[in-house]
A and B are shown apart, each in its own frame.
Chain A
Amino acid sequence: MAEPRVIIVGAGPAGVRAAETLVAAGLRPTVVDEGRRDGGQIYRRQPEGFARSSAELYGTEAARAEALHATFDDLRPKIDYRPGHLAWNVADGHLHVVHDGSAEALPFDAMIVAAGATDRLMPVKGWQHAGVYSLGAAQIALKSQGCAIGRRVVFLGTGPLMQLVAAQYRKAGAQVVALLDTSRLWHQIRALPKLVSRPDVLAKGVGLAASHLLAGTMVRRGVTPVEIFGDADGGVSGVGVRLVSGRDLRLACDAVALGYHLRPETQLADLAGCDFTFDAATRQFWPVIDEDGRSSVPGIYLAGDGVRIQGADGAEIAGQLAALAVLADRGRSAPTEQISRLRQQRRAMERFRAGISEAFPWPHHLAAGLAEETVVCRCEGITAGELRAVVHDKGADEMNRAKALSRVGMGRCQGRYCGHAAAEVVAAATQLSPAVVGRLRGQAPVKPLAIRTRRAAP
């Protein structure tokens, strides 16, 4: 049998472990990553010439980061690695990539998409001001550039990443004004039975939360975000939230790190025609997969945070499982013991994932209360009021219709950052479930494509 052509999108933990598994089986996969360096999100490598140690960069995860980087360095000669290649489209058994203005169509028999995640966002009045960043951005500024996003930083939102990044900021010497968390302590307590499925990670999380208290950092739970203050020229000047007590809290700052946990990057799965299903617990659509990562489309496999937010360890497992599924589906012998062990580990990861989404719930109820003038779509400047108007005056009760009539999600980011919240605004305005309101259909290109792009010379 001819060697199957396998493409892996993403050189993060999921992609690297998938590549390793395929190489071990004697294949030479193509690994495509938009980034200039491997590592993906969590184990992002800093640019050449930077000097911080792994311990400084990755903290408790330094050993895992080093192991992943070492694995990848070993794999380099055994794979076709394409750094700096954006996968912008997929059609008819070809992945379309662009690198430095030159486009190529890579044929594949199987493709593992391990595209990772981006921050999940709920708008708040004023979040369009300069100085408001996603939580992930706050971490990248530090990890990959050695910078803080401002002098006095407020963390607003919820999720494990918020606890982590705030601690990393404090440690690096930045001034953390406060952690304003929309989740409540009882959310976390209620989720404990699921969270104990990974006791080590749970312990780290508890440690992080405690570190903020020990350091005397202001932490407020159960907040309702009201407004990010600021002006058009100067950007952010403060944050206002309503506390559980009903009292308003206003803090001065020059930067806000905003985020509500993560959402999978599903565009490629969508363009490949994969079926999606609504997950009621996290209130989002995500691709249907089996326990190994097979999508509904033969030959398309999905792994890592790009399909379920299970974190880095879960991504490593999912990457291996997806690769083993590719091998099995291509008639290679399947190591049944290894597979069943990985599946079992994956189930623990899945249980933990569900626990995290209960512990730090997506605050969908905020959508109904967004002031009319709140910008929902930052790209196009579309407000909650404009979005509600197409619902009430023009009968838009479905997401793509609301997009067509209001332009929400029509901007450069393709709805990555407003899509989930816009669906909640429409759901609240129509009194329908977001499962009925639906999701923005994916459209190529996955990211902006330069008109200068030309087909690579064959």
Chain B
Amino acid sequence: MSPLQPRFVRLAETDRPTVTIAVDGASVEALEGDSLLVAVLTRAGHLRHSEFGPEARAGFCLMAACQDCWMWTHDGDRLRACDTPVRAGLSVLTQPPDMPWPNRV
């Protein structure tokens, strides 16, 4: 599967208002009530990369227990994608921001 291919498939509840967020700078249409994880994975194949292996990661438990789904914001903040609801204007990165994290204030 290409990393750009969506991973999740919507089977129900598609009748919700849309919300626009940004993932790695690209704008993504999500639905109100989506978790950030679902919003990203219905448009892409992963959320982040493992710190200690070559592989992309896309979450594992979806119940805030495994901590596999932490994404970055442009400011260097961390968000746990599976229990963060989307809101309009949210902008996240699948990689750490370019500038080393401690130098951003």
B26 at the interface (CB under 8 A from A): no
A36 to B60, CA, bound (A): 20
Contact in complex: B10, A416 (CB < 8 Å): no
Contact in complex: B11, A146 (CB < 8 Å): yes
Name the CB-closest residue of A to B1.
Answer: A234
Find chain B residues with CB under 8 A from A265 CB. Answer: 65
Find chain A residues with CB under 8 A from B9 CB. Answer: 147-148, 150-151, 174
A409-434 CB contacts (< 8 Å) to partner B: 411-413, 416-417
B79 → chain A, closest Cβ, in Å? 11
B71 at the interface (CB under 8 A from A): no
Find chain A residues with CB under 8 A from B59 CB. Answer: 133, 137
B38-61 CB contacts (< 8 Å) to partner A: 38, 42, 45-46, 50-61
Name the CB-closest residue of A to B34.
Answer: A145
Q: How many residues of A contact B (CB 8 A)?
A: 57
Find chain B residues with CB under 8 A from A151 CB. Answer: 9
B105 at the interface (CB under 8 A from A): no
A92 at the interface (CB under 8 A from B): no
Interface of A (DSSP majority class): loop
A366-390 CB contacts (< 8 Å) to partner B: 375, 378-381
Given contacts A47-B33, A130-B7, A417-B61, contact A235 B67 (CB under 8 A): no
A24-50 CB contacts (< 8 Å) to partner B: 34, 36, 41, 46-50
Interface of B (DSSP majority class): loop
Contact residue among A51, A142, A236 (Cβ-Cβ distance under 8 Å from B15): A51
A416 to B68, CA, bound (A): 12
Contact in complex: B55, A232 (CB < 8 Å): yes
Given contacts A174-B9, A234-B45, A235-B7, contact A147 B38 (CB under 8 A): yes
A135 → chain B, closest Cβ, in Å? 10
Find chain A residues with CB under 8 A from B45 CB. Answer: 130-131, 233-235
A403 → chain B, closest Cβ, in Å? 16
A132 at the interface (CB under 8 A from B): yes
Pairs of residues from A and B, 5 with the lowest C-beta to C-beta distance, nearest first:
A381-B52, A412-B67, A146-B13, A130-B58, A146-B12
Residues in chain A within 8 A of chain B (CB atoms):
34, 36, 41, 46-52, 56, 118-119, 128-134, 136-137, 140-142, 144-151, 172-174, 232-237, 254-255, 265, 375, 378-381, 411-413, 416-417, 447-448
Residues in chain B within 8 A of chain A (CB atoms):
1-3, 5, 7-16, 32-35, 38, 42, 45-46, 50-68, 70, 80, 85
Please name 16 further chain A to chain B contacts, defined as beta carbons within 8 Å, in addition to the given A146-B12, A174-B11, A379-B66, sorted by A numbering: A46-B13, A47-B33, A50-B33, A128-B50, A131-B58, A136-B63, A137-B60, A141-B62, A145-B13, A233-B56, A235-B1, A381-B51, A411-B67, A412-B66, A413-B67, A417-B66
